[in-house]
Amino acid sequence: MNRSANPADPVLDQAIVLRLVRQHLRSASAVTTIDETGGEARAYVIDDKYIFKTQRPHRVRERTSIEKAVFFESILAKDLPEVSVPRVLGYGREGNIEYVLETRMSGVAVRNVTLNGPARRKFLEDLERTLGRVHSLTLDQFERSSLFPGDRNESEVRSRIVDGLRRPAEAITSQSDGWPLDIKPVALAERMIKNIPNSGIARVALHSNPGPEHVFIDPTSLRFQGLIDFGDAYISHPAFDMRRWSSPDDWPAFIEGYQSEEPLNDSFLGIWQSIVVGGLMMTIAGMGFGPPRPERRLAAIEELKEMAAEL
């Protein structure tokens, strides 16, 4: 096990981890490995079956919270037990250690698997069906908790979407890098804003990032296994949970899966497209968390070209 070089972000001794784990799981015997890929949290794998996760010093996203993830996952366990998410076995604080002990999701993160054809469509349908169920949870219990930031009314949702289009459009306009479309960035943003209604805009508790790193799949059968990590959750329009899967080729599977819970109207689809375009433009502009990544920018350009042909 490698020790962290940052004294403010230490890797805990196995004895400390096991002592805390055994307060909730007496049978725990060993720390199998340590997963450093989570960014905002460090995960200690216990007996290859459980995850002991500690909150690391906030480095990027201030809204990230283990307590919030525990709250969300506990509501899912109570209200929608059929939805596959980690089950919380214990949560606590000791000194400057904040932790959760939960079951380990089976399978692997989708980013480690290549998905094409019918297997990809089936996976996306199952993912969207799951998100539709998550979004069906009663919103007031999240708003009462004070753990969930976000939009307090539909006007704030609309402002978030509009800002997510105009800011990157202005940034791209001021940059010297080539723009891949005939329509200018600001004109594209304003076209998408016309798709956003002034009223009747839904608000739900969002996972926030149900992307390839947080969605799990069986590597053999390629079947959807579940969602992990609700620590970045917030309140806004449900389409914000769909923007990580932005290829037009995936839209039919998305729509089929999501509306299996409730039919989608034209207003929802227009908002969804506006959010996706805004997200792609942010990537192209080099905005968002962390340093710009050239490969992500190139992928976003290609996806925006595909999407523009469908609009």
| Phi, psi (rounded to 5 degrees) for 49 | -125, -15
Sheet of 31-35, strands arranged across: 31-35, 41-46, 50-55, 97-103, 88-94
Tokens of 252: 């039919």
Q: What is the pLDDT of residue 290?
A: 63
Protein fold of 14-103: Phosphorylase Kinase; domain 1 (3.30.200)
Question: Residues near 242 by Cβ (< 8 Å), separated by ≥ 6?
Answer: 128, 131, 254, 258, 272, 275, 276
Residue 19: CB atoms within 10 A of its CB come to 13
Distance CA 150, CA 187 (A): 27
Element (H, E) at 100: strand 97-103
Rounded-to-5 percentages of helix, strand, coil across the chain: 40, 15, 40
pLDDT digits (tens), the chain, 311 positions? 444 446 567 899 999 999 999 999 999 999 999 988 766 789 999 999 999 999 887 544 567 899 999 999 999 999 999 999 999 999 999 998 999 999 999 999 999 999 999 999 999 999 999 999 999 999 999 999 999 999 999 999 999 999 999 999 999 999 977 788 999 999 999 999 999 999 999 999 999 999 999 999 999 999 999 999 999 999 999 999 998 888 888 989 989 999 987 788 888 999 999 999 999 999 999 987 666 778 888 989 999 998 888 77
Sign of CA dihedral 117, 122, 123, 129: positive
Q: What is the pLDDT of residue 7?
A: 54
Tokens of 198: 């002034």
Sequence ranges of the domains in the chain: 14-103, 108-310
Strand partners, 236: 204
Alpha helices in 136-222 (DSSP H): 140-145, 154-174, 185-193
Protein fold of 108-310: Aminoglycoside 3'-phosphotransferase; Chain: A, domain 2 (3.90.1200)
Q: What is the pLDDT of residue 1?
A: 42
Distance CA 79, CA 84 (A): 12
pTM more than 0.85: yes
Q: What is the pLDDT of residue 60?
A: 47
| Phi, psi (rounded to 5 degrees) for 78 | -80, -45
Q: What is the pLDDT of residue 4?
A: 46
Q: What is the pLDDT of residue 172?
A: 95
Indicate the angle between helix axes 266-285 and 294-310, nearest 10 degrees: 150
